[in-house]
Structure 1
């Protein structure tokens, strides 16, 4: 376990925003959200850089 000083007002705001029942839950929720947002930003960085070649009509016919 790590002890990190966190501003009380910031922690209270995080708890309210996440509906967390404890300070630890609020911190974990905030860390998970920060990671998700970073991952989404990295994925958005691929926009316009990936090229797909294929035939959607043929793929749709293969489903049946």
Structure 2
């Protein structure tokens, strides 16, 4: 979708520098993608008390497998 918007030039320049991306389009697409990911990610605090682990669950053993 083609859209015309006014973007702060200094902010866009900083985003291009920090991200290493070379086009305005790539920077805007990356920013939108990260925004959507961040805001759709489940808040871990909402899961508190809702996850049941088996009695023999040992996270230390699970970490050693990786």
Query: Where on the TM-score scale, by shorter chain, does this alignment land: which range?
Result: 0.5 to 0.7
Show structure 1 runs of 5+ residues with no match.
58-64
Q: Could you tell me which residue of structure 1 aligns to residue 26 of structure 2? A: 25
| More helix as a share of residues | 1
Runs of 4+ aligned structure 1 residues displaced above 3 Å come to: 53-57
Q: Provide the alpha-carbon RMSD of the alignment.
A: 2.0
Structure possessing the higher relative contact order (Cα contacts under 8 Å, 6 or more residues apart): 1
Show structure 2 runs of 5+ residues with no match.
58-66
Using the alignment, how far apart are the partners of 2:35 and 2:45 within structure 1?
17
TM-score, with structure 2 as normaliser? 0.65
TM-score, with structure 1 as normaliser? 0.66
Deviations 1:3-61 (A, max 9, x none): 11001001111111211110000011111111121123x3324230423365656xxxx
